[in-house]
């Protein structure tokens, strides 16, 4: 009887170890997914420069959160006062948007705009002065934007008052200066975009 109990304990221990290893492996495999990135972004401390105002007594509510993966596009321009030296100037983002179920749901592009469907879109603009912060010198800034004046947001974005870009990786202009006016660059980046409303 004792021998059988001992065998059962060993078998259960082995099974538990296999399950734990499988879960650990799955968690490691999931680290690159939109689901993982969005969940991880919820634990970030948002710097005051781009944090949402309290808007008491009602506060704010999040309407949508998306993970973006794509490129930041740059082109060459002459440096001011120069006739043969060039610098990079930002052109536009071009990215796919994913939800927390790892499904591609829309696009992000020049404007900037975000579109989830024909009936769900929004354009944005910077505050004056701009609200930005750069937690990582190797990545594009985190920022807070507002809906663009003269453009009506639609669908799920209808009541958006704040747009935040956080948790950025990459996307900065190449460190080497362009060599001619025709040079362009597309630099890989990822980010989390949050869309919130005032209550």
- CA 190 vs. chain centroid, Å, equals 5
Q: What is the pTM of this model?
A: 0.84
C-alpha 116/C-alpha 119 separation (Å) is 8
Name residue, tokens 């490129």. 71
Domain ranges of the chain: 2-32, 39-198
The 10s digit of each residue's pLDDT in 143-155 is 999 999 999 999 9
C-alpha 94/C-alpha 96 separation (Å) is 7
The 10s digit of each residue's pLDDT in 3-47 is 554 444 443 343 333 333 344 444 446 888 999 999 999 999 999
The 10s digit of each residue's pLDDT in 78-94 is 999 988 999 999 999 99
């Amino acid at each position: 009887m004792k021998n059988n109990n001992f065998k059962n304990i060993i078998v259960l221990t082995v099974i538990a170890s296999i399950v734990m290893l499988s879960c650990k492996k799955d968690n490691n495999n999931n680290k690159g997914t939109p689901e993982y990135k969005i969940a991880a972004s919820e634990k970030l401390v948002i710097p005051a420069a781009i944090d949402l105002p309290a808007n008491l007594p009602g506060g704010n509510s999040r309407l949508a959160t998306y993970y973006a993966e794509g490129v930041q596009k740059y082109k060459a321009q002459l440096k001011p006062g120069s006739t043969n030296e060039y610098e990079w100037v930002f052109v536009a983002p071009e990215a796919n948007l994913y939800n927390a179920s790892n499904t591609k749901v829309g696009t992000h592009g020049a404007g900037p705009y975000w579109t989830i469907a024909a009936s769900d879109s929004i354009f944005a603009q910077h505050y004056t002065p701009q609200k930005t912060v750069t937690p990582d010198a190797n990545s594009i800034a985190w920022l807070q934007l507002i809906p663009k004046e003269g453009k009506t947001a639609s669908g799920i974005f209808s009541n958006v008052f704040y747009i935040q870009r956080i948790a950025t990786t990459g996307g900065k202009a190449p460190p080497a200066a362009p060599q001619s006016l025709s040079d362009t660059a597309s630099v890989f980046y990822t980010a989390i975009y949050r869309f919130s409303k005032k209550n």
